[in-house]
Amino acid sequence: MHARNYRAVKGQAYTRKEFAKGFPPPKIVKFTMGDTKGNFDYEAKLVALKRAQIRHSALEAARVATNRVLMDKLINDYYMQVHPYPHIILRENKMIFGAHADRLQQGMRRSFGTAIGTAARIEPDQTLITVKVKASAVETAKESLKRGAAKLPIPCKIVVTKIESPAKKSQSKIEVE
């Protein structure tokens, strides 16, 4: 099984919500957390290494795991942002197995499927989660992103950059893990 049901990126993205009746909304509650107006010294990014579709439940689990470590150790002295939005609708043609199931279902007739969730398409080197912290909390940011990466179905790397000044928005890379 290897948790690959909806990870493969196949075909054209299905995003036409006006045609899909009754699909569940994304489980992601917040996309930005922490102090949105603070001045921070370092920025840590969780960057995808493979192309994949990540379900909304996995993105929410990664957000919660990352935010929990930051909240415990830094209270509110950080800024965290989840970048991808799950807008692709996933469908499933439910099949019944067991005795006398052939009388209850139609097989592949009208097999368009019902909406069961949403997903976000991820490309290699795309930023998934960004955490901005002060210089003293860089290790905490790396640990939190490592916990969040464990909840995602693809391999990720953590890139830490120093923010030069808030006015210039120019950055220099110092460490790649």
Give the per-residue pLDDT at 90.
85
Which pLDDT does position 176 carry in this prediction? 59
Helix (H, G, I), strand (E, B) or coil at 149: helix
Tens digit of pLDDT at every position of the chain (177 positions): 465 666 778 878 877 777 777 778 888 888 999 999 989 999 999 999 999 999 999 999 999 999 999 999 999 999 999 999 998 888 888 877 766 666 667 778 777 778 888 999 999 999 999 999 999 999 999 999 999 999 999 999 999 999 887 455 555 555 555
What does the pLDDT read at residue 102?
63
The answer to whether 12 touches 99, Cβ cutoff 8 Å, is: no
Contacts of 7 (CB under 8 A, 6+ apart): 52, 53, 54, 153, 154
pLDDT value for 43: 96
And the tokens for 74? Answer: 């830094």
What per-residue confidence (pLDDT) applies to 1? 45
* Helix, strand, coil percent content, the chain, rounded in steps of 5: 20, 30, 50
pLDDT at residue 175, as a whole number: 57
Listed in order, strand segments (DSSP E) in the chain are 32-34, 42-48, 52-55, 79-82, 88-92, 114-122, 127-133, 156-163, 171-176
Q: Write down all domains in the chain, each with its CATH number in brackets.
A: 32-176 (3.90.1170.10)
Per-residue pLDDT of 2-48, as tens digits, reads 656 667 788 788 777 777 777 788 888 889 999 999 899 999 999 99
Q: Which of 66, 82, 76, 77 is nearest to 134 (CA)?
A: 77
The whole-number pLDDT of residue 91 equals 82
* Neighbouring C-alpha atoms within 13 Å toward the C-beta of 169: 0
Q: Identify the CA nearest to 113 among candidates 131, 85, 83, 89.
A: 89
Would you state the pLDDT for residue 103?
66
| Beta strands 171-176 and 114-122, pairing class | unpaired
